[in-house]
Structure 1
Amino acid sequence: MDVTDQKILNALIADSRISQKELAARVGLSAPAVAERVRRLEERGIIRGFTIDINPEALGYPLQAIVRIRPLPGKLHIVEQIIQEIPEFGECDKVTGDDCFVARLYVRSVSDLDNLLERIVDKAETNTSIVKAKSVERRMPPFQLS
């Protein structure tokens, strides 16, 4: 990955809907050259897709919770399946350490949060924190030239 690839990625991170023409102008290449570079970044697995950023609060989910989940013995796969089936789990990572999962839930109320966690309470221990604010929005790691 070179400096031009980095410029392309930074522009796409800022606005994944940017036109090829505008992207080319920003990085100083022709539109066909930019299209080829984007295609190569996709082929190499650096770009996995183009997406949108949706505000959960605007959809009626004003609360976010981070939940650490420790399945009871023999319940790991059952708990994982339940997490995958509950759409309010916006993301979940399987982790090392005392807990097996760290998840982010989007909920309308604390009562809704309680109701969701009731689905796993007999299969796992949970530790929940309500998100007050984001100190750092989701961002990419720094790019390193290869």
Structure 2
Amino acid sequence: MRLQGTEPGLDALDAGILSALDRDARITMSELARLIGMSAPGVAERVRRLEAAGVLKGFSAEIEPRALGYAIRAMVRIRPLPGKLHLVEKLIDACPNIVECHKITGDDPFLAQLVVRDIEEMDGVLEALAEHAVTSTAVIKSQAVRRRLPPLR
């Protein structure tokens, strides 16, 4: 990716901005500027350029599902039955317990992450898919790697 006014890729300042925002998306432009060693208007302009280039897509809150009572997280591979792909995709989209889903290659076209309060709730979510798809579920025990930025340089 080429940002206007820079060489191909990100420079060290852009990488520093992205790293700081990844650690704390609520940081003020003044504090970000102090961390990066720039003026607040300069940092704000770089953030705007990163947004305009599609590198920085937004800011979000990181929620802990357990604090909301969701004791179980699981990854579910979902294989729609023949002719049911679009229906299963709609069912996945409509299920609030599925908090993330990717279309993937291989035998199972969907890999979903779900959060539930207990095994009975998980059974209910999976049973809603069972008429139209085959599922394979793995309960998440812990997070070995927190979501992180890809290499920036």
**TM-score range, shorter-chain basis?**
over 0.9
Count of aligned residue pairs for this structure pair:
144
> Which of these residues, 8, 23, 48, is aligned with residue 39 of structure 1?
48
Runs of at least 4 residues off by over 2 Å: none
So what's the TM-score if we normalise by structure 2? 0.93
Note the C-alpha offset of 1:120: 1.0
| Deviation of the 1:141 alpha carbon | 1.0
Check conservation: 2:19, 2:149, Cα contact below 8 A. Answer: no
For 1:11, the aligned partner's letter is A
CA distance in 1, matches of 2:91, 2:128: 8
Q: TM-score, normalised by structure 1?
A: 0.97
Q: Does 1:71 align with 2:80?
A: yes
Please name the residue that 2:5 is paired with. none
Distance across 1 between alignment mates of 2:35 and 2:114: 37
Partner SS, residue 73 of structure 1: coil
Does residue 8 of structure 2 align to residue 6 of structure 1?
Answer: no
After superposition, the CA RMSD in angstroms is 0.6
Paired with 1:7 and 1:126, the residues of 2 have a C-alpha distance of 41
Question: Match for 2:26 among 17, 24, 27?
Answer: 17
In the alignment, which residue of structure 2 is the partner of 1:115? Answer: 124
- Corresponding residue for residue 62 of structure 2: 53
User: Which residue type is aligned with residue 90 of structure 2?
Assistant: Q
**What's the counterpart of residue 135 of structure 2?**
126
SS of the aligned residue for 1:29 comes to: coil
Give unpaired runs (5+ residues) of structure 1. Answer: none
